[in-house]
Amino acid sequence: MTLFMLTVVVLVLLSQAVPGSTERCWNLHGTCREECRREENGFIFCPSGKLCCVKPKFQPKLRG
């Protein structure tokens, strides 16, 4: 019984320790974040209301 309780406690603690968001956007090339990193730009909003942060190589080319 104690081995079972120890296993349950470890699993609960590990489930709380998973960091970050796995919400993806921009055809799976972007990540939804509160703030984009320096090398990323935010173009659209994710369904959660966060910015869709995309690296420059996946950003659309603007014609002008």
pLDDT string in tens for the chain (64-residue length): 798 888 887 777 666 655 555 789 989 999 999 999 999 998 799 998 999 999 999 887 778 6
Res 13: pLDDT: 67
Gap between the Cα atoms of 44 and 60, Å rounded: 12
The DSSP result for 1-64, as a single string, is -HHHHHHHHHHHHHHH---S---EETTTTEEEESS--TT-EEEEE-TTS-EEEE-GGGSPPPP-
Sign of the four-CA dihedral 49, 25, 33, 58:
negative
Res 4: pLDDT: 84
